[in-house]
Structure 1
Amino acid sequence: MRTHNRHVFMCVGPRCTENGLQAQAMFELMGEKIDARPELTVKRTRTHCMVACRNNGPILVVYPEGVWYNRVDEAAVERIVTEHLVGGKEVSDLIFHRLGEGDTCTLDKQDV
């Protein structure tokens, strides 16, 4: 296993794009972009449906930050690699979720 300090998980469908073809292509492009920068210590793993895209896939998650990106196309891959993985700055206009935020069930203190 390659040494890494970030782990990128990317959905390759099959629901987010037709038969997962575009999603798989973006996963492969992400690999090319990461491998082209030997200074990056990033591991990449493909997943199947993360049940989060609602037709806004493919989805890509970067850990340990816990940042979820959607609608990952060629331009998004380039920006995520350049700005987030290399530059350390999240691509805020592509983020749709963050780890620890957006719980669907919240309780009022008086309900506890």
Structure 2
Amino acid sequence: MRTHTRHVFMCVGPRCTEDGIQAQAMFELMGEKIDARPDLRIKRTRTHCMVACRNQGPILVVYPEGVWYRCVDEAALERIVVEHLVGGREVDELIFHRLGEGDTCPLENEDA
């Protein structure tokens, strides 16, 4: 295992995208983006289901920050990699939960 300063988990379970196919593709793309930057010290791990996406996944979690992102498309993934993992700035509009800050935020379009 290579030395790392952050650990990124991404759900590739069947609930976030149809049969998890797009989620797996996003996980692989994230690996390519991380590997293209050898100075990054990022460990990535796929998970099955984090039961938090409500079909708006895949979910991507960055530790040690404990930031939970909705990573719904390639543009979101690119922003998370470039802005957070490379630049050290969290992408606030994609965050739906932070470790230690209570319950997850409801979706804007979710029925009450």
TM-score (norm 1): 0.89
**C-alpha contact (below 8 Å) 2:7/2:63 kept by paired residues:** yes
Q: Counterpart of 1:53 in 2: which secondary structure?
A: coil
Matched residue, 1:64: 64
Match of 1:28 in 2: 28
Structure 2 distance, partners of 1:53, 1:46, is 15
User: How large is the RMSD of aligned CA atoms in angstroms?
Assistant: 1.1
Distance 2:26 2:76 in 1: 9
Q: How many pairs does the alignment contain?
A: 104
Alpha-carbon distance between aligned partners in 1 of 2:18 and 2:11, rounded to the nearest angstrom: 13
- Which structure 1 residue ranges, 4+ long, deviate > 6 Å from structure 2? none
User: 1:1-112 alignment to 2 at 5 Å?
Assistant: 1-103=1-103
Structure 1 portions without partners, runs of 5+: 105-112
Aligned sequence identity (%) = 87
SS class of match (1:43):
strand
CA contact (8 A) 1:59 1:68 kept: yes
SS at match of 2:7: strand
Offset, 1:72: 3.1
